[in-house]
A and B are shown apart, each in its own frame.
Chain A
Amino acid sequence: MTTRVRASTIAAFLGPSVFALALVGIAPLLYGVWKSLHFFNLTKANQQEFVGLANYATVLTDPVFWQSMYRTAVLFFVSVPTQIVLGVGIALLLHRPGLGALRALTRLALVLPMATTYAVVGLLAQVMFNIKYGVINQFLGFAGIAPVNWIGDPVNAYIAVIFWDVWQWTPFVALVMLASLSSVPPEIEEAARLETGRWWTILRHIQLPFLVPGLVAVLILRTADTLKLFDMVFTMTRGGPGSATEFIAILIERTGNRQFDIGLASAQAIILLVLTVFLARAYIRLFYREVR
């Protein structure tokens, strides 16, 4: 239920938020767009020059940029389906009756990874995946596998990033799926269980429709988070070895902060922003139509 009120009242309630977000969200963005049209390297700060769309042309024809996008896409398409399969499995397990205390404990344990400071997750990886002192290689040793050079080898470092992403976000997917499963009307589920004992049939025909909103939410939030992914990888590998784990956010950071090329980094950032807003728009179209 809403009501019509005077414009001045609305402005008083909403004005401060709008002003704050415009100041910190939009003003820097416009400045970034302006800078992306310039040649601007911090090491040659007095040689700023307006170059039009040249930076965009450079970015869009730069194989390094596309490789980084490709790497980000591969990460998404490997780790997110893994998280969904494991997450749905865990949710189904938690949704079953009985073992109340243990299930409650598991739910609580699942909360921990996703709340953990991303930078700490990366640091933990450094310690646990270390070739010599790492506990992961010790576990592999118990299974008779020789020590693996996780952080120092391009392919292994990529696998380690995927593993860690799965560790941190599978619990999130599991809890979203569990919440969705709880939205299935119990009487429908009971009736189905009397008909068939097979969990697959129940999942496919009864539960799946209720999982769809959660699944789409997971897909799109994980897309946004994968495009943002910085802290964990930066503390774990700094994008290396070489550029093996240089995902898009790391590439932009390196261009701006380690190569001091603010003009080029701004162009990369604006392209990333366009992609993000496009995806966000799709997401909000799908879910927030009921806004009154």
Chain B
Amino acid sequence: MAGKFSRPNRHGPRKPVAAEAIVLCLICLFCVFPFYWMVTTSLKTQVVALQSPPAWIFTPTLANYWEVLFEDRVGASLINSLIVAVATTVLSIGLGCPAAYALARFEFRGKKDLWFWFITNRFVSPVVLVFPVFLIARQVGLRDTHLALVLMYITFCLPIVIWICTDQFRSIPYDLDEAASLEGAGHWRIFWSICLPLAMPGVAVSAIFSFIFSWNELLFAYILAPKAAKTAPAMAITFMEGYDVPYGKIMATATLIVVPVLIFAIIVSRHLVRGLTMGAVK
């Protein structure tokens, strides 16, 4: 690595490049260090985790993972998280793609207001909805079910899907629709057989976004699903209760939660900014 940093650069003198390389490395370290600490802590026994000052070199153990997965129901909560996140994603895509197609291709009155309302949902704090939903769910027997969480996660996943896919459908040349229309294809057929296959990149990116958002959510999960449908983030915080906080177990659970989203985030990293800013920045 050292050789690479000191290589002269055609754009500038030697010294600033070395300084730049050091700063870039520091930025990387700053971003990654908490994850390093999370993973190493998850490999510590409670005795090692409670050393002061903290130990950097120790004998790693997988016991925490074993315990949380098979004794503390974190395994079950991860499965709950997976069910909820996948169901939310499938539902958001299923509902969102036709809506996005309509917004991209059709002209009708009130389109702007509809668009505004869809997107506003992205801004609304979950804490605004959570108590009314809690009361309703209790009334209709949806409390502590996957369905309750899936329905609530639609409020922020569907707008994301609609936004990203509308943008994607707009980028498909309209000539294709016209050609198909002359051949006698109806709107559904054009949508399903021509535009949707071409929009797959956008559909995939928005699917990953809605998976990440549902997987990460805590407040609805914490209030609406206390036992049977408990998701992994809600499970992780239950370890904080009590006097003797099991740091290794908490970090093992945290690692299990975070690894899948980080993999997905890296897959969509090129689109992350666009998705998070709802397209204000291309």
Contact = CB atoms under 8 A, between A and B. Distances in A.
- The A contact surface, by secondary structure, is helix
Interface stretch (B58-66, B69-77, B255-263): B255-263
Contact of A176 (B49, B118, B158, B281): B281
B124 A124 contact: no
A108 B52 CA distance: 33
A119 B236 contact: yes
Contact of B54 (A135, A171, A175, A213): A135
Given A112-B262, A128-B34, A14 B98 contact: yes
B152 interface: yes
A127 to B, nearest CB: 6
A28 B132 contact: yes
A102 B10 CA distance: 16
Interface residues of A, number: 107
B151 A112 contact: no
Contacts of A160: none
Contacts of B273: 172, 175-176, 179
Interface in A250-282: 252-253, 256-257, 262, 265-266, 269-270, 272-273, 276-277, 279-281
B28 A272 contact: no
Contact of B115 (A134, A280, A288): A288
Given A21-B121, A249-B127, A284 B24 contact: no
Interface residues on B, range: 35 or more
Contact of A115 (B20, B212, B219): B212
Given A98-B9, A124-B37, A17 B127 contact: no
Interface stretch (A29-37, A54-62, A63-71): A29-37
Interface of A: 1-5, 7, 9-10, 12-14, 16-18, 20-21, 23-25, 27-29, 31-32, 35, 90, 93-94, 96-99, 101-103, 105-121, 123-124, 126-128, 132-135, 137-138, 141, 167, 171-172, 175-176, 179-180, 183, 213-214, 216-218, 221, 224, 227-228, 230-231, 234-235, 249, 252-253, 256-257, 262, 265-266, 269-270, 272-273, 276-277, 279-281, 283-284, 287-288, 291
